[in-house]
Structure formats: structure tokens, C-alpha cells
Structure 1
Amino acid sequence: MIIDTTEVQAINSFSRLESLQEVYGIIWMLVYILTTVLGITIGVLVIVWLEREISAGIQQRIGPEYAGPLGILQALADGTKLLFKENLLPSRGDNRLFSIGPSIAVISILLSYSVIPFGYHLVLADLSIGVFLWIAISSIAPVGLLMSGYGSNNKYSFLGGLRAAAQSISYEIPLTLCVLSISLRVIR
């Protein structure tokens, strides 16, 4: 019986020790990511609470005080209130466009994370044109903003969506130039 060397290499590449080391690496990376996200979230909650307390002091009024001691849980109460709000659809507008627009904006931003490497082997799409794909996917978001404004069949909402889309597009040009200049510098 003759064993091909590619079969031996394939068996060695799937050895238990290497896969366990990769799993441990992924677990530690997730621990670091979750710790960072949790720290940033707590920091933002504290800053929002401080902003409310300081602005209440400047305006000589009582700040948030009903949600927890000293109003510490006010941000949690605001988030809960936001989750349970009613989803209003325009009566004369295009409900499909009005509903799909925000989804397109959010999905395009989330898809842009698929080409960002989070570790040595942790990237969803390892492409040679990853930077260009990131720029192309993230530039779809203004279309969703415009669709939402147009779908409401209201001239003010349409102008607001048009303004938001124009701002997003105008910010994309300098961002693209910055990213491409850094990429070209790294390639050299």
C-alpha cells in the first residue's frame, strides 16, 4: 500500500493539537473583543449619565432620578422604551421602500465587516481586492437612506433623506482617498 504525501500532510494539518490551539486563540480573541466592547459600552453609559447630570445642573433643574439610584439606569430605561415603541408606517407612502431602506443601510454596513481581518486567520472573505470591496459595500448605505426618505411620500422626509445621502456621499470621497493612500503606501 502506497501512501501519498499529500494525504499525510492533510492528516497532519488536521491534528488535534493544532486545532485546539486555533480554538484557544479564537476564544481568547473573543474574550478580548467582548472585554473591549463591554468597557466601551459602560464608558458610554457613564458619559451619557454625566452629560444629563451636568446639563441638569447648568439649567438648574433636577436631572434623571427615577430610574435607579441617582438616575444611573436612565439609559437602560431609554433603551427599553425605544425597543417597545410602535413602528409607524406612512399611510400614503410606499411601505415597502420605507421599510427596506433602513435594512439596506444597516446590511451594507454589516457586510463591510466581512473583509476586515480580526486576526491572522479570522477574516470572512480574504480577497486581494478587500479594500475596494469594503469601499463599494459601504457606499451602498446612502441608497437606503434615500429610499426611506422617498418611500414616506413626504417632501420634508425626502429632502431629509436626500440631505443625509448627500452628506454620506461627500464623506465617502475623503475616506476613500485616505484608505487608498494608506493602502498604496503599505503595498510598496
Structure 2
Amino acid sequence: MALPPPRPRKPKPATLRGPRAFLPKGPKKRPKPTLRTWSLPLLDPPRRLFRVPRRAVPAHAAPRILSLDFNATYRPLPPPPSPDDPIDAARLGQRLAALTAALDDLPGQAQRFARWKARRDAAATRDGPISGQRLTPLRRGRPPGGRLSRYEPGAPHPRKIREVDEILAHAHALAVYALDDHDTS
């Protein structure tokens, strides 16, 4: 696939250059509301090997630090969340909207992936192999969220392996197979 020409870069506005950069800009104009389009990430995030997980303390278990002022008002800690509390599902709705948009435009997503591969191949031929450059859109190791490293249909598994783990491993194996250069004619 031939790469499209690079997009022209927008020049910086005059207010951000030279001596006028420190002058007030004047009244702010409200931006027009635009319809936001959601898209799924094209590549899996790389696996972080030496990441230390953060431990967050919920608000109901945080230490109470009181003032030495005897007249300070006492504020009780918030109660722990109950199973019936509402949960903000905005991020889930955005992910579902992105998935719907991707499934409605499969040829466009295929073109997007082909452009990524063409850019990667062009950079590799121009500069040679670059360390840290992504060679495959899939991350190494187990599939995201899965407990099996590979799909073996008849092999016995430990107790903690569920059916969804087998499905994830099988789908990951199919994706790896599809990325290999096979003659599909």
C-alpha cells in the first residue's frame, strides 16, 4: 500500500510567537461543539515488565488526620460503598461506541491497519531496524485478560482456567497466525 502524503502542519498563531506572546489575547471565543468520534486503539499496549502496582486506599479506609485545634469541626469519613450504589458507566459507554463504530466501518479499519504497516515498513527500510519500534500490533505473551499462554484443545488445565480463557487463547492464536505471512490464495 502506498502511503498518503504527510499532513501539513498548522503554523503557530501569531500570538504564540515573538514579543506578542506575552500580551493578553483578548476575549475568548467559545469553540463550536463538535461531534466526537471514538476509535479503538490500533495496537495493544506494550507489557510493562517492572511496573510496580499502585495501591489505592479507599476513602472510607483513609487515615483520619485531625487538627490540633479543639474548635475544629469533626468530619466523619464517608461510608464504604454498598453493592447497590450506582457506578459511573461513561467509559464503558465510550468503549461500546468505539466498538460499534469500528464494526460498522471494517474496510476503513483495514485501511488504517494497512497504513500503519506501510509506515512501519517504510521506516524500517529508510532507517533500518529501530530498537523499541513495534514490529507487531499484538503484545508478547498471554492474550490481554487471559490465563493461558497458548491454545491446546485437548490438554488438561488447572482448576482456575475457565472456558473464556480458552476462547481468549484461541482467538489470540488465530490473530498471531493471521499476522504471519501466509499464502491465502
Whether the TM-score (by the shorter chain) exceeds 0.5 is no
TM-score normalised by structure 2 residue count: 0.23
Structure with a larger share of its residues in helix: 1
- The structure showing larger relative contact order (alpha-carbon pairs under 8 Å, at least 6 residues apart) is 2
Larger CA Rg, structure 1 vs 2? 2
